[in-house]
Amino acid sequence: MDDELTRIQQSLKTQLSAISSLKDLDALEIDILGRKGSVNLLFSKLKDEQPEQVREYGEKINSLKNHILQEISLKKHQLLESSEKSSWVDTTLPGNAPKPGSLHIVTQTIEDIRDIFSRLGFIHMSYPEVEWEYYAFDALNMPKSHPARDDFETFFVETPEHPTYGKMLLTPHTSSGQVREMLRVKTPPIRMTNISRTYRPNWDATHVPMFHQFEGLCIDKGINISHLKGAIEYFVQEFFGKECKIRLRPYDFLFTEPSFEVDIYTGSKNIGRAGWLELGGAGMVHPNVLKEGNIDSSIYTGWAFGFGIERIAMMRGGITIPDMRIMYSGDVRFLTQF
């Protein structure tokens, strides 16, 4: 019993010296003096002692208990005094000015894009994020069998189908605004940018279910591929830097003909690798799409492209974002970098 009394007293001294908060001190008090604490455990062991030693050990335990209470009270006073000093404020001193906030990197990118294309005479339009199947697919020359129209690729809304426009969905691309813009303007010229949230059920380092796309549409008499390349080249050099180069790779998009994948080369290492990086898709507007917009393809031609906002933000020089999902984590450490 004497050994246990000595051990508890020595342990108390060590534990008190390591405590720096009232919460930890309360936990220690419960651990030692609580109903199942070390001191009560000693009282319960008195029944195992010889009758003539019960009184002696009982007095020693009570003495230890009083000592523990005094030491805990002293420690509590020290902690309270220290807390009061640390929280003292000199009200005659100037206050701390709040740190200025900043725009989210996606918002900054959108504003830069709008500014660049406004110099080329493009207007900014916004079209529905909850869209009809007709504008998202049928009007863009995409057949019913196209994989993008599968439930695994597009978020369909559970609502009755429209007899003309089909199912309702969360728009998978900003291209759904192309025919809407043609029907709105009626007679070209058309120079439109459409920046909007789009939705696809993907989730990995380079994809998120909700992301932003940037659509460019230009329709007029005599428009050809050189105009498309010139507009994209102007944009990438304004956005990424004058040294930026582009290339067009043949591809197969159903709503443009011919179609291209657009690559850029900046010479800098971004998103984990250097060299040519895919920017997005582009091409000459398909005659069938012009027809859906009530535009005569024998008179007018046009081009269109679609780029991901988050993607081009990640590709910009001086920015290293290894995982697109970080942009929507809400982590202030990420947000304050931009």
- pLDDT mean across residues, the chain: 86
What are the beta bridge partners of residue 193?
A: 124, 216
pLDDT band at 272 (very low <50, low <70, confident <90, very high): very low
Q: With cut-offs at 50, 70 and 90, classify the pLDDT of residue 147.
A: confident
pLDDT tens digits, 110-127: 999 999 999 999 999 999
Report the percent of the chain where pLDDT is more than 70: 93
Domain end call among 36, 59, 86: 86
Check pLDDT > 60 for residue 24. Answer: yes
Confidence of residue 211 (pLDDT cuts 50, 70, 90): very high
Question: Is 206 in the same domain as 322?
Answer: yes
| Residue 141 and residue 256 share a domain | yes
Please name every residue paired with 215 in a beta bridge, in sequence order, or none if there are none: 194, 306
Distance of CA 122 to the CA centre of its chain: 29
Residues 299 and 214 in one domain: yes
Structure tokens at 133: 């199947």
- Same domain as 136, residue 282: yes
In a domain? residue 100? no
Domain that holds residue 52: 2-86
Domain count, the chain: 2
Strands annotated E in the chain: 123-125, 130-132, 156-162, 166-170, 190-199, 210-220, 245-251, 256-265, 276-285, 301-308
Query: Is residue 182 domain-resident?
Result: yes
Longest dimension (CA), the chain: 117
What pLDDT is recorded for position 271?
A: 44
Residues 26 and 175 in one domain: no
Residues 134 and 68 in one domain: no
Is the domain of 211 the same as that of 285? yes
Count of CB atoms situated within 10 Å of the CB of 138: 18
Residues 6+ apart with CB under 8 A from 243: 266, 267
**Sign of the C-alpha dihedral computed for residues 278, 283, 286 and 290 taken in this order:** positive
Instruction: Using pLDDT thresholds of 50, 70 and 90, give the confidence band for residue 55.
Output: confident
Rg of the chain taking only CA atoms, in angstroms: 35
More confident residue, 281 or 10: 281
pLDDT value at position 92? Answer: 81
- pLDDT > 80? residue 47: no
pLDDT of residue 66: 87
In a domain, 96, yes or no: no
CA distance 338 to 329: 15
Per-residue pLDDT averaged across 84-107, rounded? Answer: 76
Choice between 266 and 224, residue whose per-residue pLDDT is larger: 224
pLDDT at 291: 96
Predicted structure pTM score: 0.67
- Whether the upstream peptide bond of residue 201 has omega within 30° of 0, thus cis, is no
Which of 53, 86, 119 terminates a domain? The answer is 86
